[in-house]
Amino acid sequence: MNEILLCKYGEIVLKGANRKYFEDTLIRELRFRASTFGKFRVTRAQSTAVIEATEPGADMEGLFGAMRRLFGIAAVGRAVAAEKNMESILATAAAYLPQFLSDKKTFKVEAKRADKTFPLTSPEIAAEVGGAVLAACPHLRVNVRAPEVTVQVEVRENAAYIHAGQFRGAGGLPVGTNGKGLLLLSGGIDSPVAGYMMAKRGVKLEAIYFESMPYTSEQAREKVLDLAAKVARYAGSMDVHVVSLTDIQEKLMQNCEEEYFTLLLRRYMMEIANRVAEKSGCEALITGESLGQVASQTMQALGVTNALARYPVFRPAIGMDKEEIIALARKIDTFDISILPYEDCCTVFTPRHPKTRPVLARVEEEEKKLPFDALCEAAMASERVFHIRAKF
């Protein structure tokens, strides 16, 4: 069976003069991702990319999943080509459609003829195909008003296409059309979701993970790399910069007041993130912070870390409830990894009574007890880069 995918563009159809740039970026990425599942021909028509296998053995199921994770695509339709005679159309419909209908209760069939020389009228084609579907799936009922699935049959010049219905795509804008951002990626639930959300707006990602060996483990780092791999299924391949904070954390412990540990640590993270962003061409920082979720995410605490940032800091989860964040984490398949119980450097020396309404001047005073710049520079020297290649 010769299956095709129809990928409908999302928001880029609203673009004016620079639509071509968005569309070309989308199609380039679409072709690249498709090429990992087989050999395909990609054609464009009416804000839709049509993908057809040009050799047998293509992984259409894998391709379908990958296209549903491609930002810039609003919906993915599946269809199969049949020969232009009723015998072939009915046999193909009976063989192809049941896999999409086994968990459905109602359907209808719509038919269209671009080729008016075809011997049956559209209503006749629809009725016959409906009969073939009912014979193959006796549990179904026809519902013309509000069917769960609408099967479409299109008789065109070269072939007849049988559509199994449309599936929601990832939406958003093609990755790379809105610059590159550096994601502060911990092993938690929130930051992978934040990375996904910004990638959805067309931001290409790099990530930075701060570790604190031996207080944090090898498994904690593996976990973060696994999370990056999950996000990469949407956002594309990315570099993960790993920087050690062990020395900084130990010095903070020995020299600074306990209630400021977390805030000071987060300021070090911010500064090191600035430097990595600068070096790697990122033009924004991205965090998983959500207002009020923990002591370091009050408005005042965010102000204290934000004061150091030299780039816009995107916090797409800032207005989200934990439950909403978790729902997204499940959708992008990061949740089960995030809840693995490996310690994060933030939880290694957590103050018993963290400052929830810190005053910047007081934090800066505390910070001056240590050589901030020199410590950041030393931490930068510990940087290692792991390239995460996306498996779409």
Which residues lie near Mg ion (CB under 5 A)?
A: 186, 188, 344
Q: Which is nearer to Mg ion, 167 or 342 (CB)?
A: 342
Check residue 354 for interaction with ligand ATP (CB under 6 A).
no
Scanning 32-40, 133-141, 170-178, 342-350 for contacts with ligand ATP by CB under 6 A, the matching segment is: 342-350
Q: Which of 169, 188, 202, 236 binds ligand ATP (CB under 6 A)?
A: 188
Check residue 335 for interaction with ligand ATP (CB under 6 A).
no
Q: Which residue has the tokens 């020199």?
A: 374
Check residue 189 for interaction with ligand ATP (CB under 6 A).
yes
Q: Which of 2, 88, 280, 293 binds ligand ATP (CB under 6 A)?
A: 293
State the Cα–Cα distance between residues 153 and 140, nearest whole angstrom: 18
State the Cα–Cα distance between residues 154 and 151, nearest whole angstrom: 10
Check residue 246 for interaction with ligand ATP (CB under 6 A).
no
88 within 8 A of 159, measured Cβ to Cβ:
no
Q: Which is nearer to ligand ATP, 152 or 191 (CB)?
A: 191
Distance in Å, CB of 189 to Mg ion, minimum: 8
Range list of H helices, 256-314 = 261-280, 299-306
Distance in Å, CB of 360 to Mg ion, minimum: 23
What does the block give as tokens for 216? 């944090």
Check residue 309 for interaction with ligand ATP (CB under 6 A).
no
Scanning 11-19, 127-135, 184-192, 381-389 for contacts with ligand ATP by CB under 6 A, the matching segment is: 184-192
Sheet holding 313-314, edge to edge: 313-314, 285-286, 180-184, 204-211, 238-244, 384-388
What does the block give as tokens for 177? 């059309």
Scanning 21-29, 47-55, 99-107, 180-188 for contacts with ligand ATP by CB under 6 A, the matching segment is: 180-188
Check residue 190 for interaction with ligand ATP (CB under 6 A).
yes
Task: List 189's β-bridge partners, or say none.
Answer: none
Q: Is 127 helix (H, G, I), strand (E, B) or coil?
A: helix
Instruction: With CA atoms as reference, report the closest residue to 125 among 158, 162, 71, 97.
Output: 162
State the Cα–Cα distance between residues 125 and 22, nearest whole angstrom: 39
Q: Is 175 helix (H, G, I), strand (E, B) or coil?
A: coil
Check residue 202 for interaction with ligand ATP (CB under 6 A).
no
Q: Say if residue 214 is preceded by a cis peptide, omega within 30 of 0.
A: yes
Check residue 263 for interaction with ligand ATP (CB under 6 A).
no
Check residue 128 for interaction with ligand ATP (CB under 6 A).
no
- Pairing relationship of beta strands 73-82 and 160-168 according to DSSP bridges: antiparallel
What does the block give as tokens for 127? 């009725």
Distance in Å, CB of 275 to Mg ion, minimum: 21
Site string for ligand ATP, 273-292 (x = CB under 6 A): --------------xxx---
Q: Which positions lie near ligand ATP, rule CB under 6 A?
A: 184-186, 188-191, 208-210, 287-289, 293-294, 296, 344-346
